[in-house]
Structure 1
């Protein structure tokens, strides 16, 4: 029986094959609902791909809490309109075109619940970029622009019960009371998942967020 490492090695091989066929920097996107395991999958792949790979989370494009307060959207932070989608797409375009200089990107620090500007470096030697986020496959602008800049798009799938368990643990770990964490996972993250799960069929691959196994592949 194949192990998690076997599945991840196969996915890493696919990324390298994309780069070898393209002959230039490639960007692979991993979409999926909150708690599906996108970040863990992306980091595991980058570890296997080595020094010429970089992890680029979409979470750095969360709008600042003050901005969300002014817009009246903070109570549903994580929804599609609480991100700077245009900025994320513009960054992907820079990553595709600027390979002779570093490109800096924001990260997201959960302990303060805010983005941090310029913390991630995409260095000129980086040939493999693994980006991940909830809305990479949403077909409406500006997110549809992201899909055109990805060499491949995968969907990270995990059953609802496991996602809920992970989300409640995450929310309590970063300061929410148990009841508040359960409510946020169910009502806010759950509402966002409805949109995200509807984009699953647009992915080139569907990958298990538990084992890394390829669950399905879209025909060319």
Structure 2
């Protein structure tokens, strides 16, 4: 991660000098690729007025996702894919930052699978020089219909045989999410060597979450088991594979990672 930080910090310094402030820097990468660590490192390294917004912190509540599950498709009860975020809130936050006004950044508690109340959101003074917007599908593009015909894993084969979930998710990605991502000035991709490593990376995250929960007196069982992780990441597989295939051709900076998250190439 040290190499990633050095490379992205150098690029971000150039972008900050060349662009009107605030700069909205998007960081995309699969689960466990090191986005959050990189974002925190950039805030410390760059020495500018900066804040971080995670796409994960825009997740809808379980109740709202249950509504989507009833009205659109049962798979939308699980957080993760487009349609399960509060895109309007994300757009409003980025607009406020661009306008130089103070904001409060939402926070989501993955252990309880619920957003934190607004009283626990992070206040950010204005104006900012840099807002880092990081997330697993930040900047992702929608797929063509021909790319969505065949199920990509057991989850899709068993629970989305008619493609209804895929179509709904893709329509959201093609519409409201593009309006959100259009607010990004520069895009960095942390490219995993393949989707196959994501399971191990996400399992590591859940192990860290279990340790954190235990340390603060919460139930470690709130974190997912390895078996639950294996199923959970299938919700992300289609878009993650598409990102790895097409985003390197248009991201402002792509860092290719090995299974240990070390940089093995950049474009």
- TM-score (norm: length of structure 2): 0.69
Counterpart residue number, 1:163: 198
Distance 1:126 1:107, change over 3 A: same
Counterpart residue number, 1:141: 175
Distance 1:216 1:61, change over 3 A: same
Query: CA separation in 2, counterparts of 1:176 and 1:162?
Result: 24
Once the 2 structures are TM-superposed, how far is the Cα of residue 57 of structure 1 from its aligned partner? 0.9
Q: CA RMSD in A?
A: 2.6
Counterpart residue number, 1:188: 232
Listed one character per residue, the Cα deviations across residues 47-99 of structure 1 (whole Å, up to 9, x for unaligned) are: 21235121111111100112223332565221222112232223222221x21
Listed one character per residue, the Cα deviations across residues 84-143 of structure 1 (whole Å, up to 9, x for unaligned) are: 2232223222221x21x3111201223332222362233214201111012222331111
Q: 2:243 aligns with which of 192, 196, 199?
A: 199
Query: CA separation in 2, counterparts of 1:157 and 1:120?
Result: 29
- Flag the structure with larger Rg: 2
Query: CA separation in 2, counterparts of 1:107 and 1:158?
Result: 26
* Structure 2 runs not aligned, ≥5 long: 70-74, 142-173, 211-219
Query: CA separation in 2, counterparts of 1:23 and 1:67?
Result: 37
Superposed, which structure 2 residues align to 1:43-58 within 5 Å? 43-58=40-55
Q: 1:11 aligns with which of 5, 8, 12?
A: 8
1:137–1:147 contact (8 Å) kept in structure 2: yes
Counterpart residue number, 2:184: 150
Answer 1 or 2: which has greater strand percent: 1
Higher relative contact order (CA 8 A, sep 6+): 1
